[in-house]
Structure 1
Amino acid sequence: MGSDGGHCSFVLLAEFDILAGAQLKYQFPQPLGVDESVLAMSMLPDGAETQLDDWTVFFLNQTAFNTISPVLALDTPEVKTTALLGEPTSSAKDKPDLLCVLNLVRTKHLQDPTKNRGAQVLALAICTRHPFIQIFKPVLLMALDDYFSDPSQDCLARLFDAVNSMDLSGAPILTRNEKMVMRSSERKDIFAEKFAHLAPPPQSWNNNNGKTLLQHRSTHSGESFSSFEEGILMRNKEREEPAVAQLQTGQSSPSEASFSLGGSAVWVGDESGIDVESGEGEGEGEENSILSFVGTTVTEPNRRRRSTDASSGSSLAHLKDGMLRPSMIHTPSYYDPNMRSGVAKDTHFYHTTVAYKDHQLPIKMPLATFPEEVGDYSLITLIKAFSSQALVSGPQHPHLHTNGPQTHPIIILFNALLTGKRIIFLGHRKPAGEVSSFVLSACALGSGCGAVLRGFIERSFPYANLNNRDEWEAVPAYIAGVTNPIFKSSPTWDLLLDISTGSVTVARDIHSTYPVSAGMPLGVPSVARSATFNTETSLGSEEDMVRAANAKDGAKTDFVTKTDNNADNFFIEDIKSAIEYHYGESLVRVRFTEYVLRFVRLASRYEEDMTGTTKFGYPSYAFDSRAPNPRLGSGIVFNDDSTGRKELAANSHRIEAWRKTNSYEYVCADFRNAQLSDAIQGFDVAHQLFRVRNAKIMSDGEVSAIMRTLAENVKTYDQVVELLAYLMPHGGGLIHLAFSLFHQKESVRDATVDLFNQLRAYPVGVLFLQALNHFQRYAYVRQAHAREKRLAPDQYQHQPPPQQQQPPPSQSFYGGSSSFNRTYSTDRMVTPTMNGGF
């Protein structure tokens, strides 16, 4: 993504003529080679004259009729442009890149009502390979204003040059796992270290002691440093400095009182003790400590350290009305406003500018966007628009109605996307931009917000019309947005969603279009594992199967799906509760990502039961402690066999239909690539984390094997980020792994400490450790110190016993209304009395 990275491929301008209709007036810098009438009609939607401004989106290079070559105007047909950094390459080597077209339509009313019906309708569009097309809206608005005042092709040239001169060379390129961690975290300093090269600190920023506030020491990733700051394990400053001096000169070894784990960085939950830039650090005496850390969070000048009560640092998930709430994490300011303007305070975005004429337009580029997420879509708006089961009409089909008549409209839509049905969003008398937004939201819904599945955007038409109807209706499993109500009577769709009324209609002939045949019974023996479900378990009632297969039209269909599996409805109710409690779009997106991830793992188990193996998942078997080296479990986990049979039965039809789509082929290819490129190899990470979090009964041997395997295989930065990508903050983050700090077996506690030490070597791991509650953080600090002493006995053999002072009654460790008192004495030290916990 350099400054010459080809952000804009083409610029188009269309105009509505009262006699000739929609006309494509300019194509810059060269013609696209696509039917100009098709482009003009796509840029000037029906009813555009009734809207002052409207935004629409459409795509190029989806089918033969809208394919252009080369993708970039400055390329030659023989030289194919390389894929954007951080994006997966296409499975077809000669398949051109998808081009997203952001189009702005404006109606300008004229003084002379006799000319052009009293209004001038223009549309200006840019073609780009970037999915985050919303960042170009400011410059597109200014360019269209410019064209109205000076209608010439020079305006298009200025827009083309301005967008392509946008400098994204400093933007961090995130891997898939880094994007998963970033989008699941609401911390505005997540991956802040990736921005360190953009904002060198002013040398004049000093604290009251003359020491630079912004500090950093160059180090290898395995080394670490720590700033000495007050914490629950620290004495006052007068006692702290002599301890450091003694450690540096070798006169004495550190005691538990003087042992620093980064001060507040891990214990308190505040970032004021973390170093970021070059300078003399306070923690030089501990540079060999296995628990020290190179920090990256910048603090505000002379900012006070926050208090350490339970409410300020603890990030336990809260339960309210049965709804899992994401934890509230303290979010510090990462950049000072006095720094240069191109640097973001929120690291979820990269801030840059576009210079158009004499204006510097600010641009916020999101860093965690996947190719299947185009534009600024909203799942909350989609869910609110289609929330009533009473508005669903038409016959029931097993591909769509996985919970019979109680299936929620959003689940019906998801099933239709997943199983390759033809879908139309109708918005009669609605702006074309609103219809386009619903189509883009649906694509994100089906793909798990771009993080799990793909293949939806390439068959979507956010704005479709009668002029190119034959082309887009010929695309299998299309997802189209229309404004003309004539499509309601078209026989070519399978599911129609009316955004004006919130109604969902299933086509009457869907059973004849997609016949359902009886599938194989569950329980086919699998060579990959020792046991499976009972062979007498079937996917569904044979009577229901035959009834659905023999149905000829909607009037004769009385297919009824068993409703004893309500997992989908529980999930939707949970999402609706989050929306009612005003949780944001980011939480809803993360929850749908988890939902689609679980479906893929469930489908992998189904495929394994049917064929004996699976192409896109780990084989399913339980933990085996009989072997000399215990074998960890793998595959999806059910609470019990009965629950597993019900869930597989409820999902069997949509899984079978999904396996016939291109989305399934993409998943298989992605899994093969992941097996070669994943940093953590050799075991199913998701299975181990699910067992630790949800297992009702776990043997000590399994817990020990899981924690030791994680500690041995999560050491490098890529491995740490991959593990954290599975640990969503709203689900507790590291909190369930941290319970192993209180396990009765010392080997489990030691393995957990080793794992946390390795996480703490990287800034993103520190942020996750900060989200632990006070008890877990203290247990980690104490056990890490004790383990360090055991690993280096010679260093501590001459250490005199520390003198302890009892805290005053008002500062009791358990005093006050919260778990920890808000006021601490720097003279006190808490000594745990239990081995392995409090």
Structure 2
Amino acid sequence: MLPDGAERQPTDWTVFFLNQTPFNTIKPVLALDNAESKDTSEEGARMLYGINLVRTKLDKTARRGAIVKAMAIVTRYPFLQIFKPVLLLALDDYFMNPSQDCLARLFDAVNEMDFSTMPVLTRYEKLIMRNTERQDVMIGRGDDYSNYPDPGTATQHTVNLPPTTTPRPGHRPSNSTDSRVSFEDNAHMRAKRDRESATRNGGESFKSASGVRSPTSPSDASFSLDGSAVWVGDESGLDQMGFVATASAASASSSSVSSVAGRGRRSTDASSSSSHGAYGRGGESAPSLAGASAASSALKDSHFYHTAINYNEHQLPVKVPLSTFPEEVGEGSLTMLCTTFSPAITTMSGPLHPHLHTNGALTPPVIVLFNALITGKRIIFLGHHKLAENVSNHVLAACALGSGCGVVLRGFIKRAFPYATLINREEWESIPGYIAGVTNPIFETAGSWDLLCDIGTNRIVVSKDIHLNHPASWSSSNPLIMRTGTVKAEGSIGSEEEAVRVPTKEGGSTQKPEFAGRPDSADNVFIEDVLGAIASHYSEAHVRAKFTEYVIRFVRVAARYEEDLLGSTTISWPTMLYTERPGEKPRLGSGAYFVDDATCARDLAVNATRIEAWRRTECYKLFQIDWKHFVATNPIQGFDLSHQLSRLRFAKSMSDGEAELIFRTIAEKLRSYDEVTELLAWLPPHLHGLQPLSFGLFHQHENVRELAVDLLNELRGYPIGVQFLQMLNHFQRYAYVRQAHAKEQRAKDSNSLSIPHSAFMVRTPSNRSESSLGGG
């Protein structure tokens, strides 16, 4: 609680963990509510996280010229940062009146914080929430709907689609076992309020947020769910409410809006009823954008649970993040970590090691750190003359880096010491693969580490004894490492034997020249992409999403490596190709997807050394357990969803039979809210959202187009699905709207003039003429 050099800093923060190792275990453990810890692992349930504030006040009357005091809060919640404001007030009180009463007031205030209505999100709900910057994502979970403006007032023009089924169940805004509640539970309340609002405004009618219309709704064919719609026309009101998609999906959508608005098109409707708008009959005017802007200021960000701490008559607002995973503690920033150790400013020294330098001397510093994390190396972050808070945040960011931001792997927090001192040094240094943050330079000279990351001088140093402590010994039966020439023939990295050859401690004659690496390797391109996003001021959430995808890819490549080496894998789906034989039922593929065989061979060769080292760690064993649990409990059962989406995204060619089976299988699986959230979690905005599924709308075969419409119609039945549909670009949404109308029209009136399968009839509001758009 009193870091080295605290007397030289007016304020500093540190983070520490309890019940982590035998020497810092507290008995008895804080009582844990079984209901709250049922979804956490045994390790996570017993881990306690501490945030500590230390302050120095100069005082000439004091013996050393200053008074230094510290105060900490220990909790089972990983989002420690929410306690910073109350700690500041409490420590100020303690300076003025150093008594136990200050601690009692702080204890009571923190424990009286209301978490009673905080929703407990499922794994896939968390993934959806963290991957989008829409402030209304899953809105209404933890608060009454009346706390939010009606999103339906954000825009004047909607697309009229045929009525779908009643909105599917959403998520209960409180902790529950079934984790599900119907959105209609709030429908009557919202409808009553809307009717009262209509009465006050002279009979104007608006759509309720639950999708249930008031009695004077303008059109039974209007498509509105949760007060939102799948826009195709003017979307100027969209920005006013903050409903802007992130990353490339947002830019594509905005450019489409500009081009369409420039032509004066207000909305597009296959049934030519768009002139009625969304706000009543006879072209009633919509609320002004100024009103929408005022409403947006009151909109709460649903990424957080909003509560407060009442300390000493001060009401402190608290925003609790809802999408935090156990391996994400505090405020560690991957943006900060990548900036500190960017290739342009980082100096790397020490011997090359195959576990760490997967691209030889050109391996990016952050990738060296990632490799050290997953292969269980001892890592120290040194910040001489730096704040202890700085080194603590780098350690916490490293844990997020290795774990894929808590989404993929675990076991890093268990061996992390965000701030470590000379006290109990022998105990924490005895932990295999420790990750420690220090400010005392004596630890560098001691040399009991494998990787030193100096945040003050932007250095990464590999221990000179790393080959002795971690010998790269491989079985002669390992064909992926011992064979030579394959990757070299494909123009990749010289030879695989060179990639893993390391100097022997005797410096024998078998030593080969060290592998130099390639500047265009996948890891180098990835880091350039991340640094480019940071330079373009993308958010921390976007950077984390990229690293999550990176770790997911690493694990799936590791599974393929195990299959080639051992014949089977216990950490992913088995590798299979799509098969379609006469007289047999077609079978979808599974496993890690590679664009071609050359890419597969290259990726396996580059990753082989760190995969071998990872397979010997506790992190690997924990993931084996997690994978078995995922397979048993995932809402979508029976096929590898990630593989099918990768096929839709990257496949150079695909048979019509495979495309139809992919869409049919996914459409048949979407029968519940949990299944929908799992699908959407694999379609984040930074990977263009629903774009892979929208490809089916333009397929040459009608069956595939029909299945794509069915799939999107199913998503349309859920509020979160509507939000994802809104992220599609203009062209994709227009294709969906007109095909959904055509299908509905055929079903409603089979005796009328049939619409040709090769064309869709569209009536534009500008000239009311019919035109044929061939090919679907």
Q: TM-score w.r.t. structure 2 length?
A: 0.80
How far is 1:728 from its partner? 1.6
**Residues 166 and 717 in structure 2, CA contact (< 8 A), matched pair in contact too:** no
Mapped partners of 1:360, 1:220: distance in 2: 41
| Match for residue 559 of structure 2 among 590, 594, 604 | 604
Indicate the SS of the match to 1:421: coil
Mapped partners of 1:175, 1:631: distance in 2: 30
**Unaligned 5+ residue runs, structure 2?**
154-162, 171-205, 258-288, 756-760
Q: Deviations over 1:618-670 (max 9, x none)?
A: 00111111163211111111121111111111100100111111111111111
How far is 1:201 from its partner? 7.6
Mapped partners of 2:246, 2:81: distance in 1: 35
In structure 2, relative to structure 1, the CA distance for the partners of 1:126 and 1:703 (3 Å cut) is: same
Indicate the SS of the match to 1:588: helix
The one-letter code of the counterpart of 1:402 is T
Structure 2 residue 14 is matched with structure 1 residue 56: yes
How far is 1:350 from its partner? 1.3
Q: Deviations over 1:654-712 (max 9, x none)?
A: 00111111111111111111111111111111111111111111111111111111111
Mapped partners of 1:373, 1:277: distance in 2: 36
**Residues 454 and 666 in structure 1, CA contact (< 8 A), matched pair in contact too:** yes
**Residues 314 and 774 in structure 1, CA contact (< 8 A), matched pair in contact too:** no
**Residues 608 and 614 in structure 1, CA contact (< 8 A), matched pair in contact too:** yes
| Match for residue 515 of structure 2 among 552, 555, 561 | 561
**Residues 420 and 477 in structure 1, CA contact (< 8 A), matched pair in contact too:** yes
| Match for residue 101 of structure 2 among 131, 134, 154 | 154
**Residues 192 and 297 in structure 1, CA contact (< 8 A), matched pair in contact too:** no
Mapped partners of 1:691, 1:616: distance in 2: 20
| 1:751-762 superposed matches below 5 A | 751-762=707-718
| Match for residue 584 of structure 1 among 536, 539, 544 | 539
| 1:445-456 superposed matches below 5 A | 445-456=401-412
Q: Deviations over 1:722-759 (max 9, x none)?
A: 11111121221112221211111000000000000000
The one-letter code of the counterpart of 1:148 is F
Indicate the SS of the match to 1:158: helix
| Match for residue 306 of structure 1 among 210, 216, 236 | 236
How far is 1:790 from its partner? 2.7
Mapped partners of 2:496, 2:731: distance in 1: 54
**Residues 132 and 374 in structure 1, CA contact (< 8 A), matched pair in contact too:** yes
Mapped partners of 1:278, 1:437: distance in 2: 47
Alignment correspondent of 2:225: 294
Indicate the SS of the match to 2:657: helix
The one-letter code of the counterpart of 1:102 is I
Alignment correspondent of 1:345: 300
| Match for residue 53 of structure 2 among 104, 109, 113 | 104
| Match for residue 141 of structure 1 among 74, 88, 109 | 88
Alignment correspondent of 1:230: none
Alignment correspondent of 1:177: 124
| 1:182-221 superposed matches below 5 A | 182-195=129-142, 197=144, 199=146, 221=167
In structure 2, relative to structure 1, the CA distance for the partners of 1:468 and 1:774 (3 Å cut) is: same
Q: Which has the higher helix share?
A: 2
Q: Deviations over 1:198-220 (max 9, x none)?
A: 636899x999xxxxxxxxx9995
Mapped partners of 1:475, 1:368: distance in 2: 30
Alignment correspondent of 2:24: 66
| 1:698-717 superposed matches below 5 A | 698-717=654-673
Alignment correspondent of 2:111: 164
**Residues 93 and 102 in structure 2, CA contact (< 8 A), matched pair in contact too:** yes
Alignment correspondent of 1:84: 36
Q: Deviations over 1:784-822 (max 9, x none)?
A: 1221233333697999xxxxx999xxxxx7xxxxxxxxx
**Residues 85 and 173 in structure 1, CA contact (< 8 A), matched pair in contact too:** no
Mapped partners of 2:28, 2:509: distance in 1: 50
The one-letter code of the counterpart of 2:655 is S
Indicate the SS of the match to 2:607: helix
In structure 2, relative to structure 1, the CA distance for the partners of 1:63 and 1:637 (3 Å cut) is: same
| 1:176-325 superposed matches below 5 A | 176-195=123-142, 197=144, 199=146, 221-222=167-168, 275-276=209-210, 280=214, 283=217, 286=220, 292=223, 294-295=225-226, 306=236, 318=248
**Residues 397 and 559 in structure 1, CA contact (< 8 A), matched pair in contact too:** no
| Match for residue 729 of structure 2 among 756, 759, 773 | 773
**Residues 493 and 499 in structure 2, CA contact (< 8 A), matched pair in contact too:** no
The one-letter code of the counterpart of 1:84 is E
**Residues 448 and 596 in structure 1, CA contact (< 8 A), matched pair in contact too:** yes
In structure 2, relative to structure 1, the CA distance for the partners of 1:65 and 1:201 (3 Å cut) is: closer
Mapped partners of 1:643, 1:380: distance in 2: 29
Mapped partners of 1:132, 1:338: distance in 2: 29
Q: TM-score w.r.t. structure 1 length?
A: 0.74
**Residues 422 and 493 in structure 1, CA contact (< 8 A), matched pair in contact too:** yes
**Residues 690 and 724 in structure 2, CA contact (< 8 A), matched pair in contact too:** yes
Indicate the SS of the match to 1:689: helix
In structure 2, relative to structure 1, the CA distance for the partners of 1:554 and 1:275 (3 Å cut) is: farther
**Residues 498 and 515 in structure 2, CA contact (< 8 A), matched pair in contact too:** yes
The one-letter code of the counterpart of 1:612 is G
Structure 2 residue 452 is matched with structure 1 residue 496: yes
Mapped partners of 2:107, 2:403: distance in 1: 32
Corresponding pairs, count: 679
Q: Deviations over 1:365-414 (max 9, x none)?
A: 11111111111121111111111376100000000000000001100000
In structure 2, relative to structure 1, the CA distance for the partners of 1:182 and 1:314 (3 Å cut) is: closer
Mapped partners of 2:215, 2:580: distance in 1: 48
Alignment correspondent of 1:459: 415
Mapped partners of 1:542, 1:643: distance in 2: 14
**Unaligned 5+ residue runs, structure 1?**
1-42, 208-216, 225-271, 299-303, 525-532, 800-804, 808-812, 814-824
The one-letter code of the counterpart of 2:226 is G
In structure 2, relative to structure 1, the CA distance for the partners of 1:796 and 1:201 (3 Å cut) is: farther
Indicate the SS of the match to 1:84: helix
Indicate the SS of the match to 1:396: coil
Alignment correspondent of 2:502: 548
Indicate the SS of the match to 1:58: strand
